[in-house]
Structure 1
């Protein structure tokens, strides 16, 4: 690889680091960083991004100065010749791939800064098996055995909490009749029912796990991806063959705007 190609590769790598760091800081400033990572990692991520920006800029300066210093001694290499030999048939391919990578980096950076961030969708939830009992290790605010007590306050329970309690319980009789008011987005299930779904993020959006509760309603089922607030009570699932033993029998389903913080943690 020629000196010019090495310089271009180094500059592309440093430029990518700089672009990612700037995007991270921008997301933190506008309050959208929590759409991509768990809030408990936000401070650590912002600190790393703040360190990466000056480091990447310094690296780019060093690369540019080094290239300018060596340019006079490598003029022949800039024309595809080194020591009287052709630069090789692979050089044009490397140049094209380098420019393509640069354009992709710039495009992704511009898209993150200009386009509004999009949350994970009902299609993603279905692809990641929202109906599977995959949240067995999730923790609710209280243990299942305490739900029979009137002293237990379940008003702050979210979709993740109720789903975890239902899946961890071998006897769901203590859950039947519990009143709930939950918010999530719609994953249609058919027959006047849908799955009220939230994504649970452990680290970042890449590992987001969908978790949901079945909802039966006598009204119309909202469209997929619509955010709704459901009020109702927990009842035994009318479909005895279903894996989910408890569902929400909705007394009302109200469509709402997407919450500012659409994930659970």
Structure 2
């Protein structure tokens, strides 16, 4: 094995080790019931199958690399002239990189197993711009958005995403005034006496999560940032004409709740 092969071997170990670490972490999250905190549930089976394949494949790859390294080293040592053995320093450096890669792999895997999974926060919601133009149409109905506000459409199952999409896309927001809602989400602070009731919508995984929300006004105190609450009230026209939100939820009750097991909408 030439001295230039050592870094290549180390890079192979790093890559295979990273695959192994991610695969093991994914399987652990699935077994612990936390995988849906990171990906859309409809991709769970596909992801688990890929992870289950990746574990033995990456282990086999690491074994093959180690055996190839050992055989090449033995053959080279048998035919190497003593003067040319100075290249051993490069091989030792490659071996050291391999050990570092192994330690990093073990560290990443241990961290994924030990550290508790966390959800996206209110700070992340503020950074990603709540209710951007990429917000998709309301879900749960094949009707046009303009028809969702009619009395013939059952909106009792609507979540934050559905109402946010409906309010943003309808041409006659006044038809929604007076609608009773009861919705749960976390608090993103706003102006005095108001906040945005927010949920993250995941299309594929947490990386593409889009925060959506409804403006809530209250005569009482505003819950602290990031706190999960259930808001009951009615939709009303926003008295603040300078605000972006045309429709707000005028809260009658705000109840603090624990974070749901599935905090995202899809």
Report the Cα offset of residue 189 of structure 1: 0.5
| Aligned residue number for residue 38 of structure 1 | 40
For residues 186 and 82 of structure 2, the distance between their equivalents in structure 1, rounded to whole angstroms, comes to 61
- Spell out the pairing of 1:39-118 with structure 2 (5 A cutoff): 39-75=41-77, 84=84, 86-87=86-87, 102-118=102-118
Are the equivalent residues in 1 in contact too, given 2:17–2:101 (CA < 8 A)? Answer: no
Report the Cα offset of residue 102 of structure 1: 4.6
For residues 164 and 82 of structure 2, the distance between their equivalents in structure 1, rounded to whole angstroms, comes to 66
Could you list the per-position Cα deviations for residues 189-245 of structure 1 after superposition, in whole angstroms to 9, with x for gaps in the alignment? 021100000011111101111111000011111111110010001000111111110
Report the Cα offset of residue 176 of structure 1: 0.5
Between Structure 1 and Structure 2, how many residues are aligned?
Answer: 262
| Aligned residue number for residue 227 of structure 1 | 228
For residues 31 and 123 of structure 2, the distance between their equivalents in structure 1, rounded to whole angstroms, comes to 30
**Aligned pair in 2 of structure 1 residues 253, 92: CA closer, same or farther (>3 Å)?**
farther
Are the equivalent residues in 1 in contact too, given 2:146–2:171 (CA < 8 A)? Answer: no
**Aligned pair in 2 of structure 1 residues 90, 184: CA closer, same or farther (>3 Å)?**
farther
Q: What secondary structure does 2:106 align onto?
A: helix
| Aligned residue number for residue 14 of structure 1 | 16
Are the equivalent residues in 1 in contact too, given 2:10–2:94 (CA < 8 A)? Answer: no
**Aligned pair in 2 of structure 1 residues 129, 65: CA closer, same or farther (>3 Å)?**
same
For residues 67 and 91 of structure 1, the distance between their equivalents in structure 2, rounded to whole angstroms, comes to 10
The answer for unaligned runs of 5 or more in structure 2 is none
For residues 192 and 37 of structure 1, the distance between their equivalents in structure 2, rounded to whole angstroms, comes to 34
For residues 218 and 90 of structure 1, the distance between their equivalents in structure 2, rounded to whole angstroms, comes to 71
1:166 corresponds to 2:188: no
For residues 32 and 225 of structure 1, the distance between their equivalents in structure 2, rounded to whole angstroms, comes to 20
| Aligned residue number for residue 141 of structure 1 | 140
For residues 244 and 115 of structure 1, the distance between their equivalents in structure 2, rounded to whole angstroms, comes to 38
Q: What secondary structure does 1:84 align onto?
A: helix
Cα RMSD, aligned residues only: 2.7
| Aligned residue number for residue 211 of structure 1 | 212
Report the Cα offset of residue 141 of structure 1: 2.7
For residues 31 and 263 of structure 1, the distance between their equivalents in structure 2, rounded to whole angstroms, comes to 15
Worse-matched range after superposition: 100-109 or 148-157 = 100-109
| Aligned residue number for residue 245 of structure 1 | 246
1:154 corresponds to 2:162: no
For residues 165 and 71 of structure 2, the distance between their equivalents in structure 1, rounded to whole angstroms, comes to 63
The answer for unaligned runs of 5 or more in structure 1 is none
Are the equivalent residues in 2 in contact too, given 1:133–1:167 (CA < 8 A)? Answer: no
Q: TM-score, normalised by structure 2?
A: 0.88
